[in-house]
């Protein structure tokens, strides 16, 4: 019996649900019950009848699932899969910043720790951040941890004042305007689809800027055949799967998140077998963090 069959057998025995982020290895995406972005997967975990969730992603994602589903067992196969950007923000300096700007709404990107979410008024994703912040009554916004996503939103809402945390995604930061220009010189008709976590000089070269899910949707609907994908290259698996007649390219060789690639099939098998790497949260902290996620629903709805 190969590793895939072993995982499938264990999953059925334990009535477990396997979730994988778009940035995971192709073989991990293939064995998952659902593939998507972090918040979508957390909602799937919450709404599913399964009591055990295997979350193939990074820690903040599994934490979000646990915040929304406290009575479920949420397991993270690669226990050391973290998010450097999420770790760039912490609750104590945020609390100090809030005191300096008591009239500001505190908005956190979902790529943040449970401790940070607990200090925030509302949590957002890259796809709903613009819509939610526009609806907030506050004229001043503290946005963290990603300054690039914050800049992207701030430019579209000039009537509001943004105080941006100095955080960033180390993977998206690596891509340079020159690497896109070099690829564009070869593939002249290719459309550049970019994640807003990229820096402004990169975003300025883009034909479309959007979340991972929005990039996939745009490529699927577009009549173009060539695309330069400026986000973590794990998304190429879904893009190629849904668009076999289209061509996808990444700039340079920089678009790989080492943390997203830590999860292997062996990790999933071990995690299922031993029910290891369980995500546990203090209940007071979980409830505070839950408020920011519930407020996201309020404004999206």
Name the binding residues: 21, 38, 83, 109-111, 126, 169, 195-197, 212, 257
Element (H, E) at 128: none
52: which strand partners? 16, 73
Whether 67 contacts 114, CB under 8 Å:
yes
- The one-character DSSP state at 78 is S
Which residues are part of a known binding site for [4Fe-4S] cluster? 83, 169, 257
Residue 170, classed as helix, strand or coil, is: helix
Q: 260, 232 in Cβ contact below 8 A?
A: yes
The rounded Cα 169 to chain-centroid distance in angstroms is 11
Neighbour tally for 55: CB within 10 Å: 31
Instruction: List residues forming the annotated binding site for iminosuccinate.
Output: 21, 38, 109-111, 126, 195-197, 212
106: β partners: 142
* Residue 167 main-chain phi, psi, to 5 deg: -115, 165
């Amino acid at each position: 019996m190969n590793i895939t069959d072993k995982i499938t057998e264990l999953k059925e025995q334990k009535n477990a649900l396997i979730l994988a982020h778009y940035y995971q290895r192709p073989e991990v995406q293939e064995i998952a019950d659902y593939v998507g972005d972090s918040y979508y997967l957390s909602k799937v975990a919450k709404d599913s009848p399964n009591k055990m969730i295997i979350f193939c992603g990074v820690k903040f994602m599994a934490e979000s699932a646990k915040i929304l589903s406290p009575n479920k067992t949420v397991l993270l196969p690669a226990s050391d899969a973290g998010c450097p950007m999420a770790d760039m923000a912490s609750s104590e300096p945020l609390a100090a910043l809030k005191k300096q700007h008591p009239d500001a709404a505190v908005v956190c990107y979902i790529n943040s720790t449970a401790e940070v979410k607990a200090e925030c008024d509302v949590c957002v994703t890259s796809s709903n951040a613009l819509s939610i912040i526009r609806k907030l009554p506050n004229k001043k916004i503290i946005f963290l941890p990603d300054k690039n996503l914050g800049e992207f939103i701030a430019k579209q809402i000039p009537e509001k004042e943004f105080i941006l945390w100095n955080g960033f995604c180390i993977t998206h930061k690596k891509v340079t305007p020159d690497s896109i220009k070099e690829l564009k010189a070869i593939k002249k008709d290719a459309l550049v689809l970019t994640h807003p976590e990229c820096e402004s000089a990169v975003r300025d070269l883009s034909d479309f800027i959007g979340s991972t899910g929005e990039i996939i949707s745009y490529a699927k609907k577009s009549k173009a055949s060539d695309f330069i994908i400026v986000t973590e290259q794990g998304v190429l698996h879904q893009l190629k799967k849904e668009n076999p007649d289209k061509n996808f390219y990444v700039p340079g060789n920089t678009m790989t998140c080492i943390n997203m690639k830590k999860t292997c099939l062996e990790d999933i098998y071990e995690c299922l077998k031993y029910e290891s790497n369980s995500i546990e949260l203090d209940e007071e902290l979980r409830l505070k963090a839950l408020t920011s996620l519930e407020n996201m629903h309020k404004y999206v709805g």
